[in-house]
């Protein structure tokens, strides 16, 4: 029975860009019913070009391993593809904590060749998606595993992600800690953006939970869309802050200082 009918809503409510694949609500293996208490993170080892070139494979499977091969696909752009609401052939033999079956774990296949660097926007979306799943299931963040932790002798994925760091970022998102995902040290922001009392990078694609919260609040104004709710203080976000400030008769500076925060929070 394909019973994980919440997959799309949970991702959308986390502010992610979501595409629902045809027939996802009825897609799944039938050898058992999903009873998820954990999450397994993968990379596709798929082609280098395109946002989610492995999507068809995730749906139909491959010779010797029928699809679906995951519940979610995660594109290079951070877009979430909802593949199947039922049991998926993704984790296989192995285990994590007290879990040992595909029916115990939600599977996410993130598009990556298996050696390319992760785009920051994709990695950020990965963290946000996993946090949203954990919140929905009411499970501890320690129940999130890499496939290589589930099956150490067989699997390398997801490559180059330190899972203790990853679980730490997930936990930060879940607890609303600022600077949830540590920005790569080698990049210097060229300007900063005031949000509440913290300064965040304006130019580079750095996820910030306060920005995401502000985007969620801005979305309550039908006339003022926040663009994508990506937690990034980019130009679209600034424009939508300015539109909001204009509408409320505030100083239009595009920054979310104390006054604008208060206006946003009293919004609905």
* Interface residues toward Zn ion, by CB under 5 A: 42, 147, 157
* Min separation Cβ 136 and Zn ion, Å: 22
Query: 81-111 burial string, b = 16+ CB within 10 Å, else e?
Result: bbbbbbbbbbbeebbbeebebbbbbbbbbbb
Name the token pair of 3: 């019973």
Residue placing its CB nearer to Zn ion in the complex, 124 or 157? 157
Least gap, CB of 149 to Zn ion (angstroms): 11
Which CB sits closer to Zn ion, 104 or 206? 104
To the nearest whole angstrom, how small is the minimum distance from the Cβ of residue 147 to Zn ion?
3
Q: Quote the least distance from Cβ 148 to Zn ion, whole Å.
A: 8
Beta strands in 25-103 (DSSP E): 38-43, 61-62, 65-66, 72-74, 80-82
**109 or 210: CB nearest Zn ion:** 109
HSE-CB for 131 with a 13 A CA cutoff: 26
Measured from the CB atom, the residue of 75 and 226 that comes closer to Zn ion is 75
d(CA 42, CA 123): 12
Tell me the C-alpha distance between 208 and 226, whole Å: 15
Taking the complex as a whole, how short is the minimal distance between the CB of residue 43 and Zn ion, in angstroms? Answer: 7
Q: In terms of Cα–Cα distance, which of 7, 16, 260, 252 is closest to 121?
A: 16
Give the separation between CA 8 and CA 82, rounded to whole angstroms.
6
Of 163 and 204, nearer to Zn ion (C-beta) is: 163
CA dihedral for 253, 209, 45, 53, sign (positive or negative)? negative
- Of 147 and 212, which has the nearer Cβ to Zn ion? 147
Minimum CB separation of residue 157 from Zn ion in Å reads 4
Q: What is the secondary structure of 101-158 as a DSSP string?
A: SGGGEEEEEE---SSSPPPHHHHHHHHHHHHHHHHHHT--GGGEEEHHHHSTTT--PS
Q: How far is the CB of 151 from Zn ion (least distance, A)?
A: 8
For Zn ion, the closer CB: 111 or 157:
157
């Amino acid at each position: 029975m394909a019973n994980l009918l919440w997959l799309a809503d949970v991702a959308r409510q986390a502010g992610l860009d979501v595409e629902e694949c045809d027939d996802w609500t009825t897609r799944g293996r039938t050898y058992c019913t999903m009873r998820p208490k954990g999450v397994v993170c993968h990379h596709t080892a798929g082609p280098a070009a395109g946002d989610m070139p492995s999507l068809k494979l995730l749906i139909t499977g491959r010779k010797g391993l029928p699809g679906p091969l995951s519940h979610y696909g995660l594109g290079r752009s951070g877009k979430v593809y909802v593949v199947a609401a039922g049991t998926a052939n993704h984790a296989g033999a192995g285990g994590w904590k007290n879990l040992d079956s595909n029916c115990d774990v939600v599977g996410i296949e993130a598009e990556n060749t298996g050696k390319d660097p992760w785009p920051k926007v994709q990695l950020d979306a990965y963290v946000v998606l996993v946090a949203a799943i954990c919140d929905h299931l009411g499970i501890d963040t320690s129940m999130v595993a890499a496939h290589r932790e589930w099956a150490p002798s067989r699997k390398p994925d997801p490559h180059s992600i330190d899972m203790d760091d990853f679980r730490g970022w997930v936990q930060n998102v879940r607890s609303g800690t600022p600077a949830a995902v540590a920005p790569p040290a080698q990049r210097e922001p060229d300007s900063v953006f005031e949000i509440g009392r913290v300064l965040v990078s304006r130019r580079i694609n750095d996820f910030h939970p306060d920005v995401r919260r502000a985007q969620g609040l801005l979305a309550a104004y039908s006339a003022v869309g926040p663009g994508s709710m990506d937690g990034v203080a980019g130009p679209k976000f600034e424009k939508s802050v300015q539109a909001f400030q204009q509408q409320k008769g505030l100083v239009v500076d595009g920054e979310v200082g104390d006054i604008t925060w208060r206006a946003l929070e009293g919004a609905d």
